[in-house]
Amino acid sequence: MQNFQNALYINLIDPTNAVIFDRKWLEEACLKVGFEAQNIEAPALRGFHWMLQLRREDNPKPLDLPIDEAPLGSKPPPVPSADPSSIG
C-alpha cells in the first residue's frame, strides 16, 4: 500500500468480506480513539483474518500485534450444497 492508504478492500459491496488494514495505521487509530486490546487472536493460516477484541480505556496501552508467523496455506471458499434453499 502507499503512504496515503490505510486499507485495501477486495470487495466493495461487502468490506467485511475481505479488507487489509495497514498495521501502523490500525495501531495509531486505536490509540487515538482510546481502544485497547482485550484479546488478540492470530490466524491459523498466514494472511488470514485476526480477531481483535477491543475495549475503551482512558489511558489505552498500544496494541501489541505479534508478527504473523502462522503457516502458509490456502483455504478455499465454502461451496454451496446442491440445494441452495438450505443455505442460511
With helix as H, strand as E and coil as C, how does the chain read?
CCCCCCEEECCCCCHHHCEEECHHHHHHHHHHHCEEEEEEECCCCCCCCCEEEEEECCCCCCCCCCCCCCCCCCCCCCCCCCCHHHCC
Q: Is residue 84 part of a domain?
A: no
Q: Is residue 14 part of a domain?
A: yes
In a domain, 79, yes or no: no
**Residues 12-47: pLDDT tens digits?**
666 566 677 888 889 999 999 999 999 999 888 887
Task: Give the pLDDT confidence score for residue 16 in this predicted structure.
Answer: 60
Whether 39 maps to a domain, the answer reads yes
- Whether residue 85 is contained in a domain is answered as no
This prediction's pTM? 0.65
User: Residue 79's pLDDT is what?
Assistant: 66
**Segments forming the whole domain that contains residue 51:** 1-61
Number of domains forming the structure of the chain? 1
Residue 64 has pLDDT above 70, yes or no: yes
pLDDT of residue 14: 65
Residue 35 is predicted with a pLDDT of: 96
